[in-house]
Amino acid sequence: MKTNIIGKQLTVYADTKVMIEKKLAKLDRYFKVEPDATVTLSRKRNVSTLEVTINAQGTLFRSEVGADSFRDALDQSIDAIERQIRKNKTRLAKRIREDAFPIEEYFPEDLEQEEELVIRTKTFPYKPMSPEEAILQMELIGHQFFVFVDDQTQATCVVYKRKDNTYGLIMPE
């Protein structure tokens, strides 16, 4: 696993890097192609926060855990990512067996425009995917929405989770 370790306002020592790489190497058995992992360590108010993001061929697995030590946070993060991987494989297997489930399209009637500054910009590699795959990705990273390129129309679309636990799809005309 290609690992990138980042310390936010702290120095990451060699023994910590070795420990992180060793523990993340246990996840290699789940992937056919070597994934990229980004580990970010930070400490605020005596809480050690460890964020792990694994990009495996466009599928993102993410965990952010706060604990007393980075070792405890790493163990909890590895467990969480392992659960996500198993959940993803189970969903994929179920979807293949049952075909794809139909997704209902929701279009919001009122889009409120708020004047806010963009605080954080994220970039990520993407691959064209179906709305079902986008929902799966959204659930895996734990976000409320996911931007993707539709594999059939090549249009940029957004899936989002609604308050009533259904999903919405925003498509351009």
- Return the residue matching tokens 């009637």: 109
| Confidence class for position 108, pLDDT limits 50, 70, 90 | very low
In this prediction, residue 120 carries a pLDDT of 75
pLDDT (mean) for 133-141: 88
pLDDT at 87 over 60: yes
Please give the single-letter amino acid code of residue 92: L
Answer whether 75's CB lies under 8 Å from 135's CB: no
| 167-170/47-56 β-pairing | unpaired
What single letter denotes the amino acid at residue 86? R
Report pLDDT for 150.
92
Tell which CATH classification among 3.40.50.300, 3.30.420.40, 3.90.580.10, 3.30.160.100 matches the domain 2-98. Answer: 3.30.160.100
The yes-or-no answer to whether 2-98 and 100-106+123-173 have a common fold is no
Residue with token string 């990138």? 4
Put simply, whether the predicted model's pTM sits higher than 0.75 gets the answer no
Q: For the segment 25-49, what is each residue's pLDDT rounded down to a tens digit? A: 888 888 888 888 899 998 888 888 8
Structure tokens at 34: 């070597």
Residue among 39, 38, 40 nearest 8 (CA): 40
Sequence ranges of the domains in the chain: 2-98, 100-106+123-173
pLDDT of 105 over the 50 cut = no
Of the candidates 61, 106, 99, 103, the one whose C-alpha atom is nearest the C-alpha of residue 80 is 61
Rounded-to-integer distance, Cα 65 and Cα 88, Å: 20
The confidence score (pLDDT) of residue 126 equals 78
Domain 100-106+123-173, CATH: 3.30.505.50
